[in-house]
Every structure is written in C-alpha cells, then in structure tokens.
C-alpha cells in the first residue's frame, strides 16, 4: 500500500530521523494500548488466522497499523501541501 502511494505521489525519499523517532513512539504506544484493549476484552482475534507471534497479548500483526500510519501520513502530508510550499516537511 505504501509502495502504491509512493508511486502515485512519485516522491519516496529516505526516511528522516524524525520519521524513525515517530515510528518508535507509535510502536511504543501501540505496544501499551493494544495490550490494554485486549486485556479489557475490547477486541479479539481468530487464533487460527494470525501468525501466533505476540508481544505481550498483542499480535504482531497489530503493529502494522502503526507502521502503515507512519508510512502513509508523511506521504499524504507532503502530497497535500499547498502549491507554493511543496518542499516543506
């Protein structure tokens, strides 16, 4: 999906250090809150269809939400920049 978006916007550059920090923050938040909502029973998974790898109670697949968000948002943010400001962020 990110590859498709990158190709559509024709601008995929090397991730900045800010991007890595953002990713780290999001992964940490996901780790904490995903485990919480699973412990509180708000969502459950079909154990046959997931890989079985967990970090705490969170399936590793859930971390892809954070990775996907981190990949998509900066691309879109740049994509929707006003014309006179295309080089920003």
Partner 1 sequence: MQFIYLAGLLVGITGMAIIDWRHKLAFWYDAKRTALTVATTVLIFIVWDFLGIFLGIFKHGNSPYQLPFTLTSEFPLEELFFLSLLSYCTLVIYTGVSRWRSRI
Q: Which is nearer to partner 1, 31 or 69 (CB)?
A: 69
Backbone angles phi, psi at 41, to 5 degrees: 75, 25
C-beta separation of 51 from 7 below 8 A? no
Work out how close the CB of 19 gets to partner 1 at its nearest, in angstroms, rounded to a whole number.
Answer: 7
Q: Which is nearer to partner 1, 55 or 77 (CB)?
A: 77
Tokens for 25?
A: 């923050």
Work out how close the CB of 28 gets to partner 1 at its nearest, in angstroms, rounded to a whole number.
Answer: 11
Within a 10 A sphere around the Cβ of 86, how many other Cβ atoms?
10
Work out how close the CB of 34 gets to partner 1 at its nearest, in angstroms, rounded to a whole number.
Answer: 11
3-state secondary structure of 39: helix
Q: Which is nearer to partner 1, 12 or 37 (CB)?
A: 37
């Amino acid at each position: 999906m990110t590859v498709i978006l990158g190709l559509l916007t024709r601008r995929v550059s090397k991730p900045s250090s800010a991007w890595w920090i953002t990713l780290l923050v999001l992964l940490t938040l996901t780790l904490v809150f995903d485990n919480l909502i699973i412990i509180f029973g708000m969502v459950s998974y079909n154990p046959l269809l997931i890989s079985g790898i967990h970090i705490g109670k969170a399936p590793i697949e859930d971390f892809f939400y954070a990775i996907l968000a981190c990949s998509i948002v900066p691309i879109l943010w740049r994509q929707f920049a006003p014309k006179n400001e295309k080089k920003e962020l």
